[in-house]
Amino acid sequence: MLATADALARLLDAARQVDGRARVDTLDALDRVLAADVTSPLDVPPMHTSAMDGYAVRAADLAGASEAAPVTLPVSQRIPAGHAAEALAAGTAARIFTGATVPPGADAVVMQEMAQVSDDGRVAFAQAPTAGEWITRQGADIRRDSVILPAGTRLTPQALGLAASVGCAQLDVVRPVRVAIFFTGDELRMPGEPLEPGAIYNSNRFTLRALLAKLGCEVTDLGIVPDRLDATRETLRRAAADHDLILTCGGVSVGEEDHVKPAVEAEGRISMWQIAMKPGKPLAFGAVRRGEEGTEAFFIGLPGNPVSSFCTFLLFVRPFLLRLAGVKHVAPRVYSMRADFSQKKGDRRNEFLRARVNEAGGLDLFENQSSAVLTSTVWGDGLIDNPPNHAISAGEIVRFIPFSELMR
């Protein structure tokens, strides 16, 4: 059995960014992946701007101003945001507002609360500003010609704002990854259908479809495939034709009713199977031939147990899909956190324990860690990555991966 880290490294090594890009409106580009660097054609802000409502001055004109001896200046112009400014005449102040252009010659802004307007329209200052005060300098945020968002960035709301701040109306993005998914198991029924003896609901369909949607994939859901070799092979062939990845759920273990692995071996190849992790041991990776050009669709077979398929998706399928989509940084952030529980016996495999952050800032463990108990995934905030053969004592610092990190 392969160690989790080795399995992940092999998986990511095989992943290649899909061909094809699109140009989309920046307003519609949320969660898409940049196909090219975004370079700024301008400085942001494009000019020196005032950070306050107040008065633009030459700091030297107010040198020595104090409560006892305020300096009074006439107001030579008024500059609202969005309007051009004229050079500031020496010995005068300009009325200015937040976001407005600082007039050439001015080197400080005094906030209006620190200025006293007299009846004749002149302003008195009881304090000398330092040069640069309350001025946001041209290019303070972004310098012209700098790369603000590199290719491979997944576009967050704030990234869209940044792109818009340099005037990008459209962005070059990678086309969505095409995923075919199907489920094996003669016992599976859809919610809404009656549940006869021996049947269970196909909960994984809901979890996995939602996870794929979160990653921005284009999904073809081929439904439930009967537990038969011929039906499984036929579905694999169909799915390979126009998808980048075929994802299956269940039937990938070693029972007589598990036909996924032999079916993939007949239609392509299995390059990796069984990982030393708990839950999720029977994860399989490989490829299915496409009829014509001798190309292949990637294949990942997830175990059927609901917690196993959930965890293996988060830990393996997510980074793999992000790589296919062209994302550079796919590793989740891992936090060092205190275990507020103890677990006497370690497992031979790398465990991923469902845990929750408590009020004291430590971690509590869900009492039932069975791979069939889906409740643990809703109760928990994330997974403790516990190395093989490692018992956990209360107070110990463990590796914690929040679900939020695994679903970005």
Q: Residues interacting with Mg ion, by CB under 5 A?
A: 185, 250-251, 304
* Percentages of the chain per state (helix, strand, coil), in multiples of 5: 20, 30, 45
Minimum distance between the CB of residue 329 and ligand AMP, rounded to whole angstroms?
31
Residue nearest to ligand AMP (CB): 304
Tell me which residue has tokens 């507020």: 340
Residue 250 found at the interface with ligand AMP (CB under 6 A): yes
Q: What is the DSSP string of 355-383?
A: EEE-TTSSEEE-S---TT-THHHHH-SEE
**249 binds, options ligand AMP, Mg ion, none, Cβ within 5 to 8 A by partner type:** ligand AMP
Measured from the CB atom, the residue of 84 and 254 that comes closer to ligand AMP is 254
SS3 173: strand
CA distances from 229 to 184, 254, 336 (A): 11, 14, 45
Minimum distance between the CB of residue 159 and ligand AMP, rounded to whole angstroms?
35
Distance between CA atoms of residues 320 and 213, nearest Å: 15
Tell me which residue has tokens 């979890």: 207
Minimum distance between the CB of residue 231 and Mg ion, rounded to whole angstroms?
13
Minimum distance between the CB of residue 183 and ligand AMP, rounded to whole angstroms?
5
Distance between CA atoms of residues 380 and 311, nearest Å: 12
**Residue 293: how many CB atoms within 10 A of its CB?**
7
Distance between CA atoms of residues 232 and 153, nearest Å: 37
Candidate ranges 16-24, 185-193, 286-294, 355-363; the one touching ligand AMP (CB under 6 A) = 185-193
Measured from the CB atom, the residue of 185 and 268 that comes closer to Mg ion is 185
Contacts with ligand AMP, 293-312, as mask; x by CB under 6 A: ----------xxxx------
Measured from the CB atom, the residue of 70 and 262 that comes closer to ligand AMP is 262
Minimum distance between the CB of residue 243 and ligand AMP, rounded to whole angstroms?
19
Q: Which of 50, 136, 204, 386 binds ligand AMP (CB under 6 A)?
A: 204
Measured from the CB atom, the residue of 282 and 382 that comes closer to ligand AMP is 282
Distance between CA atoms of residues 283 and 276, nearest Å: 10
**Residue 352: how many CB atoms within 10 A of its CB?**
25
Q: Which of 253, 271, 274, 375 binds ligand AMP (CB under 6 A)?
A: 253
Residue 396 neighbours by CB under 8 Å, 6+ apart = 338, 339
Element (H, E) at 237: helix 229-241
CA dihedral 343, 345, 350, 356 (to 10 degrees): -10
Residue 316 found at the interface with ligand AMP (CB under 6 A): no
SS3 248: strand
Minimum distance between the CB of residue 173 and Mg ion, rounded to whole angstroms?
38
Measured from the CB atom, the residue of 129 and 251 that comes closer to ligand AMP is 251
Residue 185 found at the interface with ligand AMP (CB under 6 A): yes
**203 binds, options ligand AMP, Mg ion, none, Cβ within 5 to 8 A by partner type:** ligand AMP
Distance between CA atoms of residues 267 and 381, nearest Å: 39
Candidate ranges 3-11, 66-74, 197-205, 320-328; the one touching ligand AMP (CB under 6 A) = 197-205
Candidate ranges 52-60, 209-217, 245-253, 389-397; the one touching ligand AMP (CB under 6 A) = 245-253
Measured from the CB atom, the residue of 60 and 200 that comes closer to ligand AMP is 200
Residue 188 found at the interface with ligand AMP (CB under 6 A): yes
Which spans of this chain sit near ligand AMP (rule: CB under 6 A)? 183-185, 187-188, 200, 202-205, 249-251, 253, 303-306
